[in-house]
């Protein structure tokens, strides 16, 4: 294994360990994988700081079913289904690693199923 593939494996494993902790609702463990100044940028809104992000995650309790992992240096891209309780949405998450911590998460998905589920409530 060359150094480059090791870096990609390490960053990919870090993000997968983070997702596993989120799925297990082990939010204190998941928090250890993120920087304090974590920036979340999503379709339905953004969050500044890990505390704001995890406050939402504790309330929403999303579950991630990973379909594909792509890693390149300090960037990891995941394709996954997010189970949001009343709807499951295929999504893409781009995770950036800085100083061995996730410092940015960008998530893209088609919001129409989420909006339709909210209207039915």
DSSP class of 121: -
Domains contained in the chain, number? 1
pLDDT, tens digit (0-9, with 9 covering 90-100), for 74-93: 999 999 999 988 899 999 99
Whichever domain contains 89, its CATH number is 3.10.450.50
Instruction: Name the residue range of residue 113's domain.
Output: 3-120
Query: Average pLDDT in the 95-111 region?
Result: 96
Distant-in-sequence, close-in-space partners of 117: CB < 8 Å, separation ≥ 6: 84, 86, 87
pLDDT, tens digit (0-9, with 9 covering 90-100), for 6-45: 444 689 999 999 999 999 999 999 999 999 999 999 998 9
SS3 14: helix
Exposure of 29 by Cβ count < 10 A (0-12 exposed, 13-18 middle, 19+ buried)?
Answer: middle
Please report which confidence band the pLDDT of residue 52 belongs to, taking 50, 70 and 90 as the band edges: very high
Q: Output the pLDDT for position 7.
A: 45
């Amino acid at each position: 294994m060359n150094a480059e593939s090791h870096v990609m494996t390490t960053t990919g494993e870090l993000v997968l360990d983070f997702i596993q902790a989120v799925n297990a609702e082990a939010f204190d463990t998941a928090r250890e994988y993120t920087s304090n100044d974590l920036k979340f940028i999503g379709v339905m809104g953004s969050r500044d700081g890990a505390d704001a992000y995890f406050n939402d995650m504790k309330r929403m309790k999303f579950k991630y079913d990973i379909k594909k992992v792509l890693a390149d240096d300090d960037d990891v891209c995941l394709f996954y289904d997010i189970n949001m309780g009343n709807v499951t949405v295929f999504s893409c998450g781009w995770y950036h690693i800085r100083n061995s911590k996730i410092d940015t998460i960008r998530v893209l998905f088609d919001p129409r199923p989420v909006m339709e589920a909210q209207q039915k409530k």
